[in-house]
Amino acid sequence: MPVVFITRKAHFNAAHRLHNPAKSDEWNRNTYGKCNSPNWHGHNYQIEVTVAGEPNPETGYVMDLADLHQIILERIIDPCDHSNLNLDVDFLAGVIPSSENLVVAFWNQIEPHIEGARLESIKLFETARNVVEYRGNQ
């Protein structure tokens, strides 16, 4: 059977601050610039979750996209949308919420809930020009 890749897109809006509490304020300002603002800043994030597998001979689906949508909604959108990623999201506690760290955390939230297929990648668009992708520990 062929392996097919399916992708579901979603979006959320959130605020964050890039700040390493183990470093000095000067280091944080020099490293993160405006992203270190103590008053936070926000993004209109877009997430793309791709799963792969063989189409089920009975349904023709790799995975029902409605099921994938529900997983993304419950695990990522509901806790993150219109939230402060530093303060409001339990699974991000203690994490510097860079896009790189976010995609790994999102993977850990989504992957255990994928059935009958494998999580292939998560792309996070922080802006139209800044995109981060994670493909698990390959």
Residue 1 has pLDDT above 80, yes or no: no
Is 126 a catalytic site residue? yes
Tell me, what's the pLDDT at 130? Answer: 96
Is 82 a catalytic site residue? yes
Question: Can you tell me the mean pLDDT for 29-46?
Answer: 97
Query: What pTM does this model have?
Result: 0.96
Question: Can you tell me the mean pLDDT for 129-137?
Answer: 96
Instruction: Express each pLDDT in 69-110 by its tens digit.
Output: 999 999 999 999 999 999 999 999 999 999 999 999 999 999
Tell me, what's the pLDDT at 41? Answer: 96
SS (H, E, C) the chain: CCCEEEEEEEEEEEEECCCCCCCCHHHHHHHHHHHHCCCCEEEEEEEEEEEEECCCCCCCCCCCHHHHHHHHHHHHHHHHCCEECCCCCHHHCCCCCCHHHHHHHHHHHHHHHCCCCEEEEEEEECCCCCEEEECCCC
Encoded tokens for 116: 């009958």
Q: Determine which one of 11, 41, 82, 100 is catalytic.
A: 82
Q: Determine which one of 48, 120, 126, 133 is catalytic.
A: 126
Distance CA 89, CA 6 (A): 27
Residue 38 has pLDDT above 90, yes or no: yes
The correct CATH number of 4-134 out of 3.30.200.20, 3.30.479.10, 3.40.109.10, 3.40.190.10 is 3.30.479.10
Whether residue 43 contacts residue 50, with contact meaning beta carbons closer than 8 Å, is answered with no
Q: Determine which one of 35, 111, 120, 133 is catalytic.
A: 35
Is 48 a catalytic site residue? no
Instruction: Compute the mean pLDDT over every residue in the chain, rounded to the nearest whole number.
Output: 97
